[in-house]
């Protein structure tokens, strides 16, 4: 499962929604077999960025390792003009390896499942569209259950 996000226009692909669609095509060209892509959702930014994000989730199959897939994701970000800078700042493209089936991976620069996946509506809502029954291998919760818990947590705060 891959999370895709953009909140900056690209000279070739246009608005963030176009960037996300182009990123899906680029990942497919890099060898990822795409099974499903969620609708692209407009979400509020985290941190200092003022621009809303276009976010989506992609479910696919990859013949290699999680670390090899991460390398492809990071290269795709660079190909789209992503430069490392301010954390949670504006970005042309953000590709996150959210999950790799039921594998748990702890490697330099990679933690799968993504450590904050269960806390973020902008990740879980797109995932709900493409894999509602995927079960988090550490928490034992499905995407549906994680989304429901997010709603309950918000209700307690409000």
CATH of domain 2-113: 3.30.70.560
Computed on alpha carbons and rounded to an integer, the radius of gyration of the chain in Å comes to 15
Distance of alpha carbon 86 from alpha carbon 106, whole angstroms: 24
Question: Where are the domains positioned within the chain?
Answer: 2-113
pLDDT per residue, tens digit, the chain (158 aa), is 999 999 998 999 999 999 999 999 999 999 999 999 999 999 887 766 678 899 999 999 999 999 999 999 999 999 998 776 655 557 899 999 999 999 999 998 899 999 999 999 999 999 999 999 999 999 999 999 999 999 776 544 33
Greatest CA separation found in the chain? 44
pTM: 0.89
CA separation for the pair 16, 119 (Å, rounded): 23
């Amino acid at each position: 499962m891959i999370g895709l996000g953009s909140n900056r226009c690209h000279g070739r692909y246009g608005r963030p929604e176009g960037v996300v669609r182009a990123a899906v095509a680029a990942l497919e060209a890099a060898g990822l077999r795409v099974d499903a892509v969620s609708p692209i959702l407009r979400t509020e930014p985290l941190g200092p960025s003022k621009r809303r994000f276009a976010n989506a989730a992609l479910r696919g199959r990859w013949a290699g390792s999680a670390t090899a897939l991460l390398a492809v994701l990071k290269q795709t970000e660079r190909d789209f003009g992503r430069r490392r800078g301010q954390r949670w700042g504006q970005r042309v493209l953000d590709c996150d390896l959210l999950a790799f089936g039921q594998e748990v991976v702890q490697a330099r620069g990679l933690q799968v499942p993504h450590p904050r996946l269960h806390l973020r509506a902008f990740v879980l809502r797109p995932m709900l569209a493409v894999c509602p029954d995927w079960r988090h291998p550490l928490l034992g919760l499905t995407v549906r259950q994680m989304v429901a818990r997010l709603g309950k947590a918000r209700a307690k705060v409000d």
